[in-house]
Amino acid sequence: MSERVLDVQKVSKDYGEHVVTHALRDVSVALDAGEFAALIGPSGSGKSTLLNLIGLLDRPTSGRVVLAGCDTSALDERALTTLRGKTLGFIFQAHMLLPAFTALENVMMPAWAHQGVPDAGVRARAAAMLDDVGLEALKHRRVTDLSGGQQQRVAIARALAHRPALVLADEPTGNLDTQTSDGVFELLRRLNRELGTSFLIVTHDPRIAARCDRVIDLVDGRVRSDQRRAATPVSPPP
């Protein structure tokens, strides 16, 4: 049986006091180790809210988020930060790279922020991860000198350098052209297989969703469908 890395149990999230907005209603989602899933739904469906709760950036109004076997409802902010840093990786539509630094320095940045000056092991892991994403020759280049696709590869390396159990990717190909988007997706897919890391990918792109092993459809704050299927190759548009 696969190890469960995420268990969202009947989570609801409300905003407001006098006028209450129900962003999520009794959402339950679980992910096992190595799963590669897409989270889809129209704007306003609650995707970003759910991602924030899973990413331990916000707390649910009710329900529980269990991450890597740990019930996060029992944790204070410091413990949440520690668990987030150990267990999760984040990839965003905007690369969120620091322009004054090199690719290698950006990949080391989470460890740098956590422990101060990174040690030789952190540097070695960051360099190895850049090699894995095909950027070893560019590791000392400032990220502003890289293409959009290369910058996204740096962001992917940064998210995976500490070998997280789960990567949350929010529209990771949204700012890329079709060819570059396909390359980034195939990179995520390869790293998923080679490292056994679970991925939850928020996307509006039906081509990307169709290539995932599982598609979770969120509508009006509820899970409308949750389908596991074999990934289907999608040809580029003519």
- What domains does the chain contain, in order, with CATH numbers? 4-228 (3.40.50.300)
The CA-atom distances, in angstroms, between 88 and each of 81, 85, 215 are 10, 6, 20
pLDDT value, residue 112: 73
Read off the tokens for 216.
Answer: 């979770």
Read off the tokens for 155.
Answer: 């962001």
Sign of CA dihedral 49, 53, 57, 63: positive
Q: Name the band, by pLDDT with cuts 50, 70 and 90, for residue 153.
A: very high
Residue 179: Cβ-neighbour burial (10 angstroms; 0-12, 13-18, 19+): exposed
Residue 154: pLDDT over 60: yes
- Give the mean model confidence (pLDDT) for residues 58-72: 96
CB-based burial, 32-41: b 16+ in 10 Å, e otherwise: eebbbbbbbb
pLDDT value, residue 231: 45
Q: Name the band, by pLDDT with cuts 50, 70 and 90, for residue 186.
A: very high
Residue 113: pLDDT over 60: yes
pLDDT value, residue 232: 43
Residue 234: pLDDT over 80: no
Question: What pLDDT digit, counting tens, does each position of 69-78 carry?
Answer: 999 998 999 9
- For the question of whether the overall pTM of this predicted structure is more than 0.85, the answer is yes
Provide the percentage of residues in the chain whose pLDDT is more than 90.
Answer: 76
